[in-house]
Structure 1
Amino acid sequence: MNRRHAIQTLAALAAVPALSPLRSALAQAWPDKPVRLLLSQPPGSGPDNIARLLSERLYPRWGQAVVIENKPGGQNTVGAQAAARSPADGYNFYFATTAALVTNTFLFKQLPYDPAKDFVPVAFIARSPFGILVKADSPIRTVEELIARSKATPGTFTLGNEGPRTFGGMIARLFNARSGAQANLVPYVSVGVSAQNLMGGHVDAIVADVASTAQLAKQGRLRLLAVTSDKRLADWPQVPAVSELLPDFDMVGWFAIVAPAGTPTAAVERVNRDINALLADEEVAGRIATIGPIAAPGYSPAQTGDFLKREHARWAQITKEIDILPE
């Protein structure tokens, strides 16, 4: 009877969610050392500024430093590969971009990492809208006028961007394709260079992220004709969205935190909870907005994963539409 009782007791323990207290204990113990947050962008960039803002606010919550490590290069592949190869111990996370997790899949024949298999979703951070801009004294005052001007002088009207295989370049190509515009797409090595050339009159318009160009627009040196998000931006209510002319045109970059596959669930859930709490804070969201992106709190790890799957399917269609082939 004693033997039978012991077996029944063990069976009962196995049926009860006995791991939940252990899981709770692990979550409470984490972190007991500094946490590394890896980025694919250089210090001083928009993503870097947001990551450092969040790291400053996480320190009081965790009692541990969040160490920012920048590994730019290779259209995000250098940083993404390093993140994918990091130990899945709950202390390594990757502040990832649209390119790293989605669009690179369609731009490279071979990637040194697998965006779907090498990472687990942790939290969604923010959306980063782009815009179409002209010089402040340009006679072009609307997107409709820009399209008409490009059609009147096909191949002569110039639209600067960061290159055909960058996010801004693909937005420019999609804009041409869907609007019927016949702009000559001029690649630049950076948004900064394209903006300087626009102000110097060397190009008629540019496609660039709002974060990088907002200050020039506020100073009256550039004019923001339209934003590429599906709706107008709260900080720029007078500026129309391209979708008002081209329905379903929603082209924004975004940032999400992921972790190496196999990272303990307790660490993932703790990071998700604390990141969402920060993003929901009005002061933090406001500071992110001054950098450019729009904070998007409330995504669970599962919802972040579902978003990534939808974006992958959407970009599979977009790259076909604009004839982008992997190289």
Structure 2
Amino acid sequence: MREFGYQRVSDVQGVVALLDAEPGARLLGGGTNLVDLMKAGVERPGLLIDVRELPLDRIEVTDGGGLRIGATVTHSDLAAHPEVRRRYPALAQAVLAGASGQLRNMATVGGNLLQRTRCGYFTDVTKPCNKRVPGSGCPASAGEHRNHAILGASAHCVAVHPSDMGVALSAFDAVVSYETVDGAGELSLDDFYLPVGDTPHRETALPAGALITGVTLPPAPVAVTSRYRKVRERASYAFAIGSIAAALDIGRTGDGAVVRDVRLAFGAVASRPWRAREAERLLTGGPADAEAFAAAADAELAAAEALPDNRYKVTLMRNLVVALLTELTEEAA
């Protein structure tokens, strides 16, 4: 690891001023991703700005019943917060599924949103990688890609985003707040992550020199009946090979259960949390049964472009949709 500067800052304006003056600086929250990348030589910042003393560590209920979550809230505090567990249980479950207790004690909300892919070609500086060195190639397409993307990828990059928390945030229309020297701004999570296209090294729409200050979840009554399900290759402390955040509101008619509202987001299938809007559209107002759930999943996954070794993900995600929505339906009954 090469030498770098370190500066601790306790106010937001001080941080954005430093980022403006030092374009090569990186923000240090928990460091659970950044420090590993520095050790591997992927990240080589000249300055680390420690943001852990910023006054952004609160979770507050907003007017109408949403939540505002500060960027330096740790994952342990997020998962344990009673209002998170009550209003958005899938979010608490996703965070608990994300890492070990030691990592959750350090990892922050803002840092999790900005974490980089765990693709082995990205983290190995001896290999080409368009995300790390634009134009160098994507060896994963013909190499090791068992856990790579089936949706929204391109010939330039097939890596997936590793966040569990982000999948739940996507399902509930989260909005990311940030600050720059030019003032404050907001981005919906849909707009926060950029499509891969031919520029996979450009991962977010954050302006240069921006500091994430928090995430807002708008009121969502359907979120009360939500759940997160993660499939991984071992029982704990592993990244997902497929995951889903789901919420379901069921009504009753003479013909049986009907979907009044539904939220679905997929994880480990794309370069960003994948909001399953086509599946939501097909389900809303229709029957709440396994046949409808399967048809909606098939419609969402029709755009999948699987590689030889990750075709299993199409079936896996279809089965996850049916299983989790069926569980939620049975509980509602």
**TM-score, normalised to structure 1's length?**
0.26
Structure number with greater CO (CA < 8 Å, separation at least 6) is 1
**TM-score, normalised to structure 2's length?**
0.26
Larger radius of gyration: 1
